[in-house]
Amino acid sequence: MPEPVIELTGVRREFPADPPVRALDDVSLRVEGGDYLAIVGPSGSGKSTLLNVLGLLDRPGSGSYRLDGTETTALGDGARTRLRGDRIGFVFQSFHLLAHRTVAENVMLAEIYGRQPRRGRRERALAALERVGLGHRTDFRPDRLSGGERQRAAIARALMGEPSLLLCDEPTGNLDSRNTEAVLDLFEELRRQGLTIVVITHEQEVSERAGRRVRITDGVLVEEK
């Protein structure tokens, strides 16, 4: 049986204060390959802390986090950076596209700090853009794209390293309803292709499209039926 993509066991994360703030409180979560999971919760509930732990941007204070079978909590910074680059693609609310670069160049930038060979980089970027339905916009600058197209370009960039996990932080927060639908349709298509997707959102429309939903409140995670 294959290892789950995500396996959190008894994860805690506290931040210094008086009294200390427990952002994650004994969190356990298992996400299999090909799952499409929404994490919902109010502001200050621990969503961002959980995203940072899942994305190897922060370490839990205690507990275990296995990513594709690799125990991450004892890894050094360099090994964590390599594992993050190899296994995780990130999609953010604000797109983070460079205005002076074309869409294809923005997507190619995903490999600048990776270990992929330079040869074939543009071809891989064009293939990623075709995968998200933006093959006709490769030489446009971001300011000529709609919000939904910009987010699809950002998703193409996240797919460049063939990650096993796509982590999305409020990915439709800057989109109107029509573009939101288009991005959610794309997520469903990527899941059908076998990608594991975790979306952090406060929008009911977004969470209802996911196959599973968990809610975090005051650092406590509960599966919703």
For 127-159, the pLDDT digits (tens) are 999 999 999 989 999 999 999 999 999 999 999
For residue 63, the enclosing domain spans 6-224
* Model confidence band, residue 120 (pLDDT cutoffs 50, 70, 90): confident
Distance CA 133, CA 209 (A): 20
Residues 6 or more apart in contact with residue 182 via CB below 8 angstroms: 148, 152
Please tell me the predicted confidence (pLDDT) of residue 69.
Answer: 93
209: domain CATH number?
3.40.50.300
Q: Does the pLDDT value for residue 93 go beyond 90?
A: no
Average pLDDT over residues 91-107: 91
pLDDT of 94 reads 86
Q: How many domains does the chain have?
A: 1
**For residue 88, what pLDDT is reported?**
94
Token pair in block for residue 68: 């594709």
Q: Is residue 42 part of a domain?
A: yes
Q: Within a domain: residue 20?
A: yes
Let me know if residue 109 belongs to a domain. Answer: yes
Beta partners for residue 70, in sequence order: 67
Does residue 94 form part of some domain? yes
Check: CB of residue 1 under 8 Å from CB of residue 17. Answer: no
Pairing mode of beta strands 62-67, 6-15: antiparallel
Give me the pLDDT at residue 114, please: 63
CB within 8 Å of 110: residues ≥ 6 apart:
125, 157, 158, 160, 161
Please tell me the pTM assigned to this model. Answer: 0.92
pLDDT recorded at residue 115: 66
Is the CA virtual torsion 178, 196, 169, 114 positive or negative? Answer: negative
- Tell me if 1 is assigned to some domain: no
- Beta-carbon neighbour count of residue 95 at 10 Å? 20
* 89 within domain boundaries: yes
Structure token pair of residue 210: 């996911």
